[in-house]
Structure 1
Amino acid sequence: MNTISPSTYYKEEASNYELTVRIIKARNIHGTDVVSKPDCYVCLSLPTALTDKKKTKTVWNSRNPFWDETFHLRIHSQVKNILELSLHDEDVGTADDHMFTVSYDLGNVPLNETVMETFTLNNEFQEELYVEFNLVTIPDAQKTVTTNGVLVCPEMVALEVEVEKHRKEAFKRKTELALTVRGSYEDSQRILLSSDSSSHETVVFHYPRDWGTEMSASLNRVYSSFDVTFSNETENDSLSQTTVPLSLITPTDGEINVQLPAMEVKPLEMQIKLKECPEKLDVRLGFDLCDKEKIFLSKRQQVVADALKKFLQLEEDLVGEEIPVVAVMATGGGARAMSSLYSHLYGLQKMGLLDCVSYIAGASGSTWTMSKLYEDPEWSQSNLSESIQKAKKHVTKTKMRTFSVERLKYYRKELQQAAKDGQKPSFTDLWGLMIESMFHNGRNESRLSDQQAALEEGQNPLPIYLAMNVKQDTISTLDFKEWCEFTPYEVGLLKYGASIRTEDFGSEFYMGRLMKKHPEPRICYLQGLWGNVFSLNLVDTWYLTTQLDTFWDTWVKDRIKDIDKEDIRLRREAAHTKTRLFTPAGTFSRIWKGVLTNRPIDGEQHNFLRGLHLHKDYHKHAQYATWKDSNLDIFPNKLTTLADNLCLVDAGYFINASFPPLLRPRRKVDIIISFDYTLDTPLLCMEQTCVYCTTQGIGFPKVSLSEEERKKHRECYNFNDEDNHNAPIVLHFPLVNDTFKQFKEPGVLRSPEELADGNVDVTGTWSPYFLTNFTYSEQDFDRLMKLTQYNLLNNKQLITDALLTAVRRRRARNLLSETCQTRTQQKT
């Protein structure tokens, strides 16, 4: 691999290989039939090179089937190619039985050598599968690919097919031409030949140039519903077919004529031509911050420097790298989180600290506050008490209108329009419309990208909204989760170093290119996505309530084991993925697994990684390794690059916090002011984040709590790892009621008459702030505002000390850097 900065993408030389796979035989296969021997066949699946599975013939009634069938595949040298060989027992009248699947990394096959592999399927019965592999370079197939070290974007080409259409009267019946290029963005397209439109029509297919794909063309009669009712013929009757191998065509060949017999008239003429596609990608590949965020930070830096000098009463100005980066982190918690974040931001404003903040990250309910505030480009420069009063009106009003017949009709109309705009309407979108109804006056036309206006001069902190990409079904959140961040500039998946413009979220991408532009969704739809409190599956619910994953591991997790033999291990230089055997669970377990993992009310988004592939050395990339935390990371074929859609859910279903975006090294965050709006476990998210970051090698302070600290919670915790200055200082403010019971303001005791005002119930079953309550009384709302502001103001000195520590570290680090540069220059 080229030695380059992990923050950029680059060009890499690549080759195409011809892979030959010879399925020879299997031995001692017992199968699932009790009264007969199995009827075996083998399927080959290689998603990085094949659009469909290939299949051997079926050998009937044999425990030792012999196939000796050979398959030829074209693979890419820089892509992680994992071949899956599955053994099936064919049944007549019922679904075939899937017995085993072997997952084999083709990096194990040396170039220009023949390798025989014997895969042990069952040690007890000595069941084995014998397969032979051969890999050779295709001459004159040297290419370049675009990559960031984790993702690879091969060359894309566009196939233009121009069809000469016949006059309407030339056909006795309606006739259409069906064109298919498997593996292309378009897949299939149809042209009605007997229409009154122009005499020529052109369609385009976009597909990977290196795939050995083909175009199939068929001429079909099209019947009306009346014809089908009174005819014995099928609905689409094929008149003729032809197939064109596209691997034989190059962009320099010019137009190629293809004729398709039309029976009733002269042969149908088609002219096909291959064109290169522009190399410029619409998906940004790289782990660095985008240019717009860098520009914002340079402007925000001066605002922060002035605010810190004033707050800390410094004599000298802070300049350049001396200026610490301060971030606010807010957890989820429905209307409780939404209300409390208003209050905390107002408290920061009153203290003169709001202008010291560069980032605000939120999850779930706290994102509802953020998205509302950023409708005003000058929100942090205005008195936030007015925003609190507006929020109060919405939180305390009745929500019955949200569920009225009139509103339900409105929701239906909006979802229909969203479908026309290219969205995939779901319950998540309906929930977003309901949030809009509960906490907004009328229809909100704003979009996330509109918030760029609030960042143009660095006048406000940069908002970051956090979600998680999960599997829609069959996989628990514990086994698969990927952080997805939203900013007014970009939407990105942290693990892959891939981002798109926020304006393009919801549009369709293929191989890094924007293929079909859809309108950016209104902000309410994103609010439903970020704060969807209904998208848990049963396994997630079990984990959140017990913090134990043994139930999943014991009962329904797939049976997977390493079956590499010593000879494979010795030559595994180009591959890192072990050869694994997957044994499907029984019928009962599959049903039970489906019940536990299904997310019936989740929504799906277009996957902007579609058509990209994992680099053969993706596992070596430092940034990928940082965010690799899912069991599926060892199965490249099951990762997001090969998924049609993203399934984005509330980040709180793993850790109810929004720390991950703030821990990206490029953001250089020194202090995180953490606002935790959890009722019963106010320190859980800190402990979970600490465990997660320790496992992933991400800088985060140690969280070690005594039993006494677990029982009696403080208003603020200072988590500071003196031994690791790469870890930010975290000031954690849980939602607790401690000294507020006796003090109405810091240092001001309550009178006996005022003691009742300090009785704010933020624990227990009967708290008015429980998660699914979206309507508070005015008294409960006011008490929550006063409590959260008090807790913040009462710990002003802790915040001051942390800021001074961050400034001191920054200055020391800057001085060390300057000293090293001076010594280097002197040596030179």
Structure 2
Amino acid sequence: MTDKPKHAAFSTMSQPGKQDERSNISVHFGISEEEKVAVQNRGKKVLMALQKLGINTKKSPIVSVLVSGGGLRATIACQGVLTELSHLGILDMVTYLAGVSGSTWCMASLYTQSDDGWEDLQKAEVELQRRLREGSWKTFVALDGLCKAAERDDYSLTDFWSYSFVYFFTKELINTRLSQVRLQSEMGTVPYPIFAAIEENLKIGEKEKTQHAWFEFTPDWAGYSTLGYSEPGTYVSTTYCGSKFEGGKLIQQEPERDLSYLRALCSSVLADKDAMLQGIMDFFKKLTHHSRTQASFLITEPDAGVTLKDIIEELFNLIITFLTDGDCLPHLESLQFTMSGDENFVEAAAFVAEIIEQLSKTNKDEQNQLFQVLLLKTWIKDLVEKSRVSSYLKFLWKTNQCLLTWTWGTMKNFMYKYGDIEAKHLTHVKNLHLMDAGLAINSAYPLVLPPVRNSDIILSFDFSEDPFMTITETEKYCKSCNIPFPPVDKDRLKQDADAPWDCYVFEGEKGPVVMHFPLFNRVNCGSAEVIEKKWQTYETFRFRDYSDDEVIQLLEDSKLNVRENKDRILAKISELSKATS
């Protein structure tokens, strides 16, 4: 374990916590007081689990389980891993469960379970299989959710992703909030959950900014983790995450986002932009051409509201065409025709004429700016407010706006104008833009390593197509941040890349022991040829039409990685238990 630093690079006038009325923000090293209680109580359960195996120790090691990204493949494999860990009694020894991207889809479901549900995760596995086999995506449910989301001023494409893609793939919407898991986690009845994301504006660039990019969500606090041994983390209560702050004070409280949104935020963007645009276009058509939606417009008043709806839908076609490098002229001409003769859109129609004239004389960026101005000119607030479907119109318009700016994961910056820290690049912007941490490292190593949580052993279940990228990227990250991490034999990993073994153990004089488990390997597949076939079957961007047999096989492959290495895992935990006594 590493001692806390005596001096901080950030100026911290106080250490705000749950009872501090001076600020709603907490600046602290390591973990919060609430998390310390949860870890302490979880430690008691871990000790009991160790004693059942004849391991007598006064202090339990900190065992962290990491589950990586990998789309729906990761969701299914994550469920298999956790079910088997539970079956073997190892999950009771785990203090932290940290997930990225596709694995958060599974985690979000599991943390809605009661304590009894965690005793037998086989039930959750059966329910996952049932949903994938029988579940359905209901258009009117998705649309209702999107209309409610559009009432928020931080609506982004992540909202669209949540109610279209993620809901469609998982056949599940979760209304539970992460803060509602506090009692379970505080009592230590479940592993303490950590959902990982990154701040888009910080994910690329200078080395010192890369480590600032990691953003965590826990039942108690959400924010930027402790950075190095001289910089504390900066957090806001999970309940208030997304509310408006200025200077450390809560200005306007917003409802806490639910786990459906959180898992969407943690898993955006999975595909490349072109594939994503095609998917957005498909879902947009499903949502806007649904019979219930069309019926609602038969009673829309005034008539100009219907015109506005038609215009916004045509704008969507224009924007998608623009973003996919298609011919925009026919859509502009259609817009001009729809607007003509309606006094509400005289100015907008004139501007469309200007765009048509300038289209061939402007570059892509200039055209984008013109289309953004056109959106503003077509937004007639009075018509929207008078409409009986104003939320629907807001959803249509805001989705168009977010498409042009490619805006994801918008969240009000709780550190805006907060003077107690010196990291001004984190305090001068009103909004954060959080997204898939897999764009940095496809596993949440930075959130369980020193000096954040000082894990003694990390069980890393990696569902990535590259079996070793998370290990090599983490080693580079740790070197740049001066964080202890065991040495990695890159030559051996390169040699094993096409046919990895099912478990690799990395350990050194400092830092945690890391046990790394590639999903498809020589043990559960037998050969490099079978491994390659498995990756083709369960490719990252395949989100639907998994057969029952394919789901069952993937669950079994992931379970086998745990089962075959049970003795190695328990031996290492036993060894570390004696070392911490």
Deviations 1:569-626 (A, max 9, x none): xxxxxxxxxxxxxxxxxx999989x9xxx971413110000011475xx5xxxxxxxx
Q: What residue number does 1:159 align with?
A: none
AA aligned opposite 1:808: K
- Residue 688 (1) aligns with residue 473 (2): yes
- Per the TM alignment, residue 306 of structure 1 is displaced from its structure 2 partner at its CA by 1.3
- Per the TM alignment, residue 506 of structure 1 is displaced from its structure 2 partner at its CA by 1.1
Q: What residue number does 1:784 align with?
A: 554
- Per the TM alignment, residue 449 of structure 1 is displaced from its structure 2 partner at its CA by 0.7
- In the aligned structure 1, how far is the partner of 2:192 from the partner of 2:514? 19
- SS at 1:797 equivalent: helix
Q: What residue number does 2:384 align with?
A: none
- Residue 674 (1) aligns with residue 460 (2): yes
- SS at 1:455 equivalent: helix
Q: What residue number does 1:332 align with?
A: 69
Q: What residue number does 1:800 align with?
A: 570
Contact 2:486 2:506 in 1 (8 A): yes
Return closer, same or farther for 1:472/1:711 CA change in 2, 3 Å cut-off.
closer
- In the aligned structure 2, how far is the partner of 1:456 from the partner of 1:614? 29
- In the aligned structure 2, how far is the partner of 1:374 from the partner of 1:791? 23
Equivalent of residue 428 in structure 1, options 129, 148, 158:
158
- Per the TM alignment, residue 801 of structure 1 is displaced from its structure 2 partner at its CA by 2.6
Equivalent of residue 490 in structure 1, options 221, 239, 242:
221
Contact 2:149 2:159 in 1 (8 A): no
Equivalent of residue 653 in structure 1, options 416, 439, 458:
439
Q: What residue number does 1:771 align with?
A: 541
Q: What residue number does 1:211 align with?
A: none
- Per the TM alignment, residue 294 of structure 1 is displaced from its structure 2 partner at its CA by 1.1
Q: What residue number does 1:287 align with?
A: 29
Q: What residue number does 2:316 align with?
A: none
- In the aligned structure 1, how far is the partner of 2:530 from the partner of 2:498? 18
Q: What residue number does 1:360 align with?
A: 97
- SS at 1:392 equivalent: helix
- Residue 450 (1) aligns with residue 180 (2): yes
- Per the TM alignment, residue 412 of structure 1 is displaced from its structure 2 partner at its CA by 3.9
Superposition pairs for residues 134-173 of structure 1, below 5 Å? 149-150=9-10
Return closer, same or farther for 1:486/1:452 CA change in 2, 3 Å cut-off.
same
- SS at 1:714 equivalent: coil
- Per the TM alignment, residue 446 of structure 1 is displaced from its structure 2 partner at its CA by 0.8
Q: What residue number does 2:247 align with?
A: 511
Q: What residue number does 2:500 align with?
A: 713
- SS at 1:306 equivalent: helix
- In the aligned structure 1, how far is the partner of 2:194 from the partner of 2:251? 27
Contact 2:154 2:410 in 1 (8 A): yes
- Per the TM alignment, residue 769 of structure 1 is displaced from its structure 2 partner at its CA by 4.0
Pick 1 or 2: higher relative contact order, CA cutoff 8 A, min separation 6.
2
- In the aligned structure 1, how far is the partner of 2:163 from the partner of 2:206? 26
Q: TM-score, normalised by structure 2?
A: 0.69
Contact 2:169 2:543 in 1 (8 A): no
- SS at 1:732 equivalent: strand
- SS at 2:132 equivalent: helix
Contact 1:435 1:527 in 2 (8 A): no
- SS at 1:784 equivalent: helix
Superposition pairs for residues 227-246 of structure 1, below 5 Å? none
Q: What residue number does 2:60 align with?
A: 323
Equivalent of residue 699 in structure 1, options 437, 460, 484:
484
Q: What residue number does 2:286 align with?
A: none
AA aligned opposite 2:487: K
- Per the TM alignment, residue 477 of structure 1 is displaced from its structure 2 partner at its CA by 9.6
AA aligned opposite 2:146: L
- Residue 641 (1) aligns with residue 427 (2): yes
- In the aligned structure 2, how far is the partner of 1:801 from the partner of 1:472? 40
Point out where structure 2 has 5 or more consecutive residues left out of the alignment.
15-19, 275-361, 370-403
Point out where structure 1 has 5 or more consecutive residues left out of the alignment.
9-147, 155-277, 539-586, 619-635, 744-757, 812-828
Return closer, same or farther for 1:443/1:369 CA change in 2, 3 Å cut-off.
closer
Q: What residue number does 1:378 align with?
A: 115
- In the aligned structure 1, how far is the partner of 2:521 from the partner of 2:496? 15
- SS at 1:468 equivalent: strand
- In the aligned structure 1, how far is the partner of 2:453 from the partner of 2:474? 18
- In the aligned structure 1, how far is the partner of 2:366 from the partner of 2:6? 44
Q: What residue number does 2:42 align with?
A: 300
Contact 1:335 1:395 in 2 (8 A): no
AA aligned opposite 1:785: L
Superposition CA RMSD, Å: 3.4
Instruction: Tell which deviates more after alignment, 301-310 or 698-707.
Output: 698-707
Contact 1:762 1:769 in 2 (8 A): no
Deviations 1:77-134 (A, max 9, x none): xxxxxxxxxxxxxxxxxxxxxxxxxxxxxxxxxxxxxxxxxxxxxxxxxxxxxxxxxx
- Residue 388 (1) aligns with residue 194 (2): no
How many correspondences in the alignment?
Answer: 445
- Per the TM alignment, residue 443 of structure 1 is displaced from its structure 2 partner at its CA by 4.7
Return closer, same or farther for 1:667/1:392 CA change in 2, 3 Å cut-off.
same
Q: What residue number does 2:306 align with?
A: none
Return closer, same or farther for 1:413/1:666 CA change in 2, 3 Å cut-off.
closer
AA aligned opposite 1:514: L
Deviations 1:118-172 (A, max 9, x none): xxxxxxxxxxxxxxxxxxxxxxxxxxxxxx6425679xxxxxxxxxxxxxxxxxx
Contact 1:470 1:648 in 2 (8 A): yes
- In the aligned structure 2, how far is the partner of 1:734 from the partner of 1:521? 33
Identity %: 28
- SS at 1:766 equivalent: helix
Deviations 1:489-545 (A, max 9, x none): 11011246211111111101111111111111121111110011358679xxxxxxx
- In the aligned structure 2, how far is the partner of 1:482 from the partner of 1:610? 16
Contact 2:34 2:186 in 1 (8 A): no
Equivalent of residue 411 in structure 1, options 114, 129, 142:
142
Contact 2:467 2:497 in 1 (8 A): no
Contact 2:146 2:163 in 1 (8 A): no
- In the aligned structure 1, how far is the partner of 2:542 from the partner of 2:72? 8
Return closer, same or farther for 1:656/1:392 CA change in 2, 3 Å cut-off.
same
AA aligned opposite 2:495: E
- Per the TM alignment, residue 766 of structure 1 is displaced from its structure 2 partner at its CA by 2.9
Contact 1:333 1:677 in 2 (8 A): yes
Contact 1:535 1:599 in 2 (8 A): no
- In the aligned structure 2, how far is the partner of 1:711 from the partner of 1:766? 14
Return closer, same or farther for 1:775/1:448 CA change in 2, 3 Å cut-off.
farther
- Residue 809 (1) aligns with residue 545 (2): no
Contact 1:465 1:530 in 2 (8 A): yes
- Per the TM alignment, residue 700 of structure 1 is displaced from its structure 2 partner at its CA by 1.2
Q: TM-score, normalised by structure 1?
A: 0.50
- SS at 1:667 equivalent: coil
Q: What residue number does 2:52 align with?
A: 310
- Residue 733 (1) aligns with residue 537 (2): no
- In the aligned structure 2, how far is the partner of 1:529 from the partner of 1:279? 30
Return closer, same or farther for 1:643/1:151 CA change in 2, 3 Å cut-off.
farther
AA aligned opposite 2:113: D
AA aligned opposite 1:465: F
- Per the TM alignment, residue 281 of structure 1 is displaced from its structure 2 partner at its CA by 0.7
Contact 1:150 1:497 in 2 (8 A): no
Q: What residue number does 1:814 align with?
A: none
Contact 2:222 2:241 in 1 (8 A): yes
AA aligned opposite 1:353: I
Q: What residue number does 1:369 align with?
A: 106
Q: Which has the larger radius of gyration?
A: 1
Return closer, same or farther for 1:304/1:606 CA change in 2, 3 Å cut-off.
same
AA aligned opposite 1:784: L
Contact 1:761 1:767 in 2 (8 A): no
- SS at 2:550 equivalent: helix
- SS at 1:416 equivalent: helix
